[in-house]
């Protein structure tokens, strides 16, 4: 075997190992993100104020993470590089803040099932945006797997889905949430090609927290929980749902891409349903169980066909 051939084989094996590790990281991210509705339900504050604390309280964690990254690689990212991507970082924070706030308000205007279904349509927008903006293509079998996962999500919420015309505002807000999260995923996937995860999460968090604070003050919501339990719910949101969940998702995006990650995130309602069953005694119907199986099978199919036709 020639030296060039051995080098190519080593690089291929290394890339495959990195992809498998990233897949495990994504699974952990989804598990952490699935806790979000639990903490939101138990929060003592309004939806926008809760969203603000979810982001703001995680900022010290990201600052420490970034300091650790710089200590390990002090010359990894220059100030000029960071400034060059400043607009994208601010935009990412704005999109993420809008995604959180829109979802939080959607569950007040429409049925939770509607909000869950419509806000999880982001894979369609991610795939479409990646193609229109960056020329990224996906195979027909990947698209079929993505649509299968969305169909599974619809089946998951079918028992509680409502078509009440009076809730059209909430449905529209949930759809805006999906669009904003899709834009966030596409931006972060691009930023990960130039910047470390901690740098991205810190500055997107700063931008997002500023936007959510302004929205909270405009809505007239209280920023102070009444009890220690209220603070613990906010800390859970910040450290588990945001710092751990979104942080791990950002790490995984460097190797798995926005399109597959968006499809994989459709499995979060499955784990969310399990949390509801375990913590709130919410029963899991046959439709929900079947929808969960379809989602998980479609995610596996998307992984198997990602990048191939």
pLDDT reported for residue 6: 53
pLDDT reported for residue 7: 56
User: Does the pLDDT value for residue 100 go beyond 90?
Assistant: no
Specify if 21 maps to a domain. no
31-40, 127-136, 292-301: the lowest-pLDDT one? 127-136
Quick one: tokens of 216?
A: 């909270």
pLDDT reported for residue 308: 46
Asked if 53 contacts 45 with a C-beta cutoff of 8 angstroms, the reply is: yes
- DSSP states of 175-233 as a string? HHHHHHHHHHHHHHHHHTTTS-HHHHHHHHHHHHHHHHHHHHHHHT---S-SSHHHHHH
Specify if 223 maps to a domain. yes
Asked if 88 contacts 190 with a C-beta cutoff of 8 angstroms, the reply is: yes
What is the number of domains present in the chain?
1
Outline where the chain has alpha helix (H).
3-33, 36-42, 47-56, 59-72, 79-84, 86-109, 112-119, 122-134, 140-156, 168-191, 197-219, 228-236, 247-256, 258-264, 268-280, 286-305
189 vs 288, higher pLDDT: 189
pLDDT reported for residue 42: 85
Q: How would residue 137 be classed by pLDDT, with cut points 50, 70 and 90? A: confident
Considering Cα of 272, then 278, then 283, then 285, what sign does the dihedral take?
positive
CA 21 to chain centre: 18
Phi-psi region of 255 (alpha: psi -120 to 50; beta: other; left: phi over 0): alpha
Q: How would residue 249 be classed by pLDDT, with cut points 50, 70 and 90? A: confident
Q: How would residue 85 be classed by pLDDT, with cut points 50, 70 and 90? A: confident
The predicted-structure confidence for 157-216, as pLDDT tens digits, reads as follows 666 666 665 567 777 888 899 889 889 988 888 888 888 888 899 999 999 999 999 999
Quick one: tokens of 98?
A: 């809008």
Specify if 166 maps to a domain. yes
Which structural domain, as residue segments, surrounds residue 112? 48-68+86-305
Side-chain-side CA neighbours of 30 within 13 Å: the count stands at: 25
If 0-12 CB within 10 Å is exposed, 13-18 middle and 19+ buried, where does residue 71 land?
A: exposed
Report the pLDDT averaged over residues 3-30. Answer: 71
Specify if 42 maps to a domain. no
Give 136-147 as a 3 state SS string: CCCCHHHHHHHH
pLDDT reported for residue 79: 62
Scan for tokens 């420490």, then name that residue. 64
The top-scoring range by mean pLDDT among 39-48, 91-100, 300-309 is 91-100
Specify if 241 maps to a domain. yes
Specify if 193 maps to a domain. yes
Specify if 289 maps to a domain. yes
The predicted-structure confidence for 45-58, as pLDDT tens digits, reads as follows 988 899 999 999 99
């Amino acid at each position: 075997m020639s030296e060039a051939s051995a080098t190519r084989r080593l690089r291929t094996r290394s890339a495959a190992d990195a992809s498998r590790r990233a897949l495990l990281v994504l699974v952990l991210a989804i598990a952490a993100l699935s806790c979000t509705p639990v903490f939101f339900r138990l929060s003592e504050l309004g939806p926008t104020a809760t969203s603000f604390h979810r982001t703001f309280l995680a900022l010290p964690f990201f600052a420490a993470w970034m300091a650790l990254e710089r200590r390990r690689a002090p010359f990894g990212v220059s100030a000029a590089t960071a400034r060059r991507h400043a607009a994208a970082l601010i935009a990412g924070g704005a999109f993420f803040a809008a995604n959180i706030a829109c979802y939080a308000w959607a569950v007040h205007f429409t049925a939770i099932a509607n909000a869950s279904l419509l806000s999880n349509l982001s894979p369609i927008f991610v795939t479409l945006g990646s193609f229109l903006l960056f020329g990224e293509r996906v195979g027909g079998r990947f698209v079929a797997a993505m649509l299968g996962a969305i169909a599974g999500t619809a089946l998951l919420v079918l028992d509680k889905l409502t078509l009440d015309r009076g809730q059209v505002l909430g449905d529209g807000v949930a759809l805006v949430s999906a669009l904003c999260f899709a834009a966030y995923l596409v931006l972060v996937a691009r930023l990960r090609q130039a910047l470390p995860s901690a740098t991205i999460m810190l500055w997107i968090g700063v931008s997002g927290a500023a936007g959510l604070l302004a929205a909270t003050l405009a809505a007239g919501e209280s920023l102070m929980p009444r009890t220690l339990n209220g603070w613990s719910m906010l800390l859970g949101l910040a450290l588990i749902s945001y710092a751990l969940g979104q942080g791990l998702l950002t790490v995984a995006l460097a190797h798995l891409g926005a399109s597959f990650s968006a499809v994989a995130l459709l499995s979060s309602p499955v784990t969310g349903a399990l949390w509801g069953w375990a913590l709130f005694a919410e029963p899991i119907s046959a439709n929900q169980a079947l929808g969960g199986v379809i989602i998980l099978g479609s995610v596996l199919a998307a992984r198997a066909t990602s990048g191939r036709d």
